[in-house]
Amino acid sequence: MKLTVTVITRDEAANIAAALQSVSWADEIVVVDSQSTDDTVAIARPLATRVEVREWPGYGAQKNYAASIASNDWIFSLDADERVTPELAREIKELLHKGPAECGYRIPRVTSYLGRWIRSTDWYPDYQLRLYDRRTARWNTRRVHESVEADRPPGLLRHELQHYAYRDISHHLATIDRYTTLAAEQWASEGRRTSALELFFHPRFAFIRNYLLRGGFRDGAVGLLVSRLNAYYVFLKLAKLWELQHRVNAGQAVANPQLTIDTPQSAISKSAITNRRSPLDRR
């Protein structure tokens, strides 16, 4: 059974070569670029089977488009900041050779942060549904943390997908700011509300869960940083939701979420985001 790897990109010149090289064993590689302003497309062309450039319709819609132009029904969706290890590649090839029993498979993802692999906190194992049959599974169109929805419960692979999500703490904080805006807008569109009590308690519970219950303390200072920043993500997401609902209560116009959503920039290769829930999006 043949496999197509799909990658959506925007200004990923620093990442795209390593990502595509990690899946060079695939039968087909399709890259859909959202009008990058750097050398992403030029770097991708000799490494991919097909590269297309098109306007940005949103995360899920772009990934569904990439799957729709693939030559094969089995799809592996890869982000530019991810790498498929030789062990995972071998597991996928063996599965496809035997014939998959399920319509999709979740894969454990491990994140590299400040020089070490994090196998604690909410960041691990961060299962992602990335290997799927496009005839029975597809991406939803949530504004952020989009995921694959399959017609049947997915199977589970054993080997890890590597994730190089953040260059440094500044990059991490910028990502938190961007994603919490999208997450709050998504919640607001769904009618979700929050309160001062939730703002006070949930970030504290998130820190306890990350640092103590899920073993962040085992990763030393880095584990403490991840736990604190994961709790900050929860706080900021709730704070922005509170801001949105109080603007509405006060009769103020809320900024059009589409203005934010339609600007992919480097957020395209996120964690991201289960199948596609970001490591940041736990509470």
CA distance 27 to 4: 6
Summarised one tens digit per residue, pLDDT across range 172-230 is 999 999 999 999 999 999 999 999 999 999 999 999 999 999 999 999 999 999 999 99
Give the other-Cβ count within 10 Å of 57's Cβ: 15
DSSP per-residue codes, 190-234: TT----HHHHHHHHHHHHHIIIIIT-GGGGHHHHHHHHHHHHHHH
By the 10 Å C-beta count (0-12 exposed, 13-18 middle, 19+ buried), 124 is classed as buried
- pTM here? 0.85
Question: What average pLDDT score do residues 62-79 get?
Answer: 98
Element (H, E) at 105: strand 104-107
Summarised one tens digit per residue, pLDDT across range 138-154 is 999 988 889 999 999 99
Give the other-Cβ count within 10 Å of 271's Cβ: 25
CA distance 16 to 38: 11
What structural domains does the chain harbor? 1-283 (3.90.550)
